[in-house]
Amino acid sequence: MSRYHTNSTAIRKNRSEYYRLRAYEARLNEQLHHMLKRIKAIQEDEERSLTNKKLLTYLLAQATLQKAELEAQPDSKERNKQLKKAEKEFKEVDARYKRNEYHLAVLEKKKDKDNAAKYILKENKRDQVSIRIQIAYDTWMQLEQAQQQINLKLSKEAQSITESVTDNTTLASALTSVLQSSSHNEELIKYWLIRAVAIQRVLLASRYTAFRKR
C-alpha cells in the first residue's frame, strides 16, 4: 500500500496567506494612491510658487529701482513722502518674496520626503508583496494539483479494496493495512474510516438482498 500524505493543512495555510497578502497589497495601493495625490498637490503648489517668484522678482526689482531713484533725488518734502512710500512698498514686496522662498524650501523638503516614502512604499513594500502573493498563489495551486492526484489515487485504491472485500473479516484486514500505511495521518485515517463504513453498508445491503432471495 502506498503512503499518501494529504496537503489540506498546507493548502489552507497558503490560501489564507494568499488572501492576507492580497488584502495587505490593497491597503498599500490605497496608501500609495493617497501619497501620489499628495505629491501631485505639492507639485501644483510648487508650480504656483515658482510663478509667484517670477512676479515677485519683477516687483522687487521695480521697487528697488524706484527706491534708488528717489534716494538719488535732492531732499524735499515731496521726495521724502514718495521715498517713504517706496520704502514701504519695497519692504512689503521683499517680505512676500522671502515668504515665497521659504514656502518653496518647505515644499522641496516635503517633496523629497514624500518621494523617498513613495519609493519605500512602492519598491520595498508593494512590489515585494506582489512577489510574495505570486509565490503563495503558485504554491497553493501546486498543492491543490498534488491533492487532486492523491484524491484520484485514493479513489482508485478505495474502489479496488471495495471490490476485494467480501465480508467483515476481509474488510478489517484491508482497513488495517490501509491504516498502517497512513503513517498516523489523521485525515487519511478519517478518510478510510468513512470508506469502511460505506463498504460495510454495501456488505449489509448485499446480505439483505441475498437473504431475501432465499
Tell whether 103 and 29 lie within a shared domain.
Answer: yes
Tell whether 214 and 141 lie within a shared domain.
Answer: no
pLDDT given at position 101 = 94
Long-range pairs of 20-28 with CB within 8 A, sequence gap ≥ 24: 21/129, 21/132, 21/133, 21/136, 22/133, 24/129, 25/126, 25/129, 25/130, 25/133, 28/121, 28/125, 28/126, 28/129
pLDDT tens digit sequence for 118-172: 877 777 777 888 888 888 888 888 888 887 887 677 666 666 665 555 555 556 6
Tell whether 98 and 30 lie within a shared domain.
Answer: yes
Tally of structural domains, the chain = 2
Q: Is residue 160 part of a domain?
A: no
From 101, 121, 149, give the residue that closes a domain: 149
Tell whether 170 and 69 lie within a shared domain.
Answer: no
Tell whether 177 and 121 lie within a shared domain.
Answer: no
pLDDT given at position 4 = 47
Tell whether 34 and 127 lie within a shared domain.
Answer: yes
Q: pTM for this one? A: 0.56
CA atoms within 13 A on the CB side of 200: 12
201 Rama sector, left if φ>0, alpha if ψ -120 to 50, beta otherwise: alpha
Tell whether 118 and 182 lie within a shared domain.
Answer: no
Q: How far apart are CA 104 and CA 50, in angstroms?
A: 8
DSSP H helical ranges for the chain: 8-72, 77-119, 127-164, 168-181, 186-213
Tell whether 145 and 178 lie within a shared domain.
Answer: no
Q: Is residue 42 part of a domain?
A: yes
Higher local confidence (pLDDT), 103 or 194:
103
Q: Is residue 136 part of a domain?
A: yes
pLDDT given at position 98 = 94
Residue 115: pLDDT band by 50, 70, 90 thresholds? confident
pLDDT given at position 113 = 85
pLDDT given at position 159 = 63
Q: Is residue 174 part of a domain?
A: yes
pLDDT tens digit sequence for 70-80: 888 888 888 88
Nearest to 147 by CA among 185, 194, 199, 195: 185
pLDDT given at position 57 = 92
Task: Assess whether pLDDT exceeds 50 at residue 1.
Answer: no
Q: How far apart are CA 115 and CA 113, in angstroms?
A: 6
From 110, 125, 149, give the residue that closes a domain: 149
Task: Assess whether pLDDT exceeds 90 at residue 100.
Answer: yes
Nearest to 139 by CA among 24, 9, 5, 2: 9
Q: Is residue 156 part of a domain?
A: no
Task: Decide: 44 and 50 in contact? Cβ < 8 Å.
Answer: no
Higher local confidence (pLDDT), 185 or 125:
125
Q: CATH number of the domain that 58 lies in?
A: 1.10.287.620
Residue 191: pLDDT band by 50, 70, 90 thresholds? low
Q: Helices 77-119 & 8-72, crossing angle to 10 degrees?
A: 170
Q: Is residue 155 part of a domain?
A: no
Q: Is residue 154 part of a domain?
A: no
Tell whether 129 and 179 lie within a shared domain.
Answer: no
Task: Decide: 104 and 53 in contact? Cβ < 8 Å.
Answer: yes
Q: How far apart are CA 24 and CA 124, in angstroms?
A: 14
Residue 3: pLDDT band by 50, 70, 90 thresholds? very low
Higher local confidence (pLDDT), 143 or 101:
101
Mean of per-residue pLDDT scores for the chain = 78
End-to-end C-alpha distance for the chain, whole angstroms: 38
Q: How far apart are CA 154 and CA 156, in angstroms?
A: 5
Tell whether 135 and 186 lie within a shared domain.
Answer: no
Tell whether 126 and 179 lie within a shared domain.
Answer: no
From 149, 177, 193, give the residue that closes a domain: 149
Task: Decide: 121 and 28 in contact? Cβ < 8 Å.
Answer: yes
Q: Is residue 143 part of a domain?
A: yes
pLDDT given at position 211 = 44
Tell whether 119 and 54 lie within a shared domain.
Answer: yes
Identify the domain containing residue 99 by its residue range: 8-149
Q: How long a stretch of residues is the chain?
A: 214
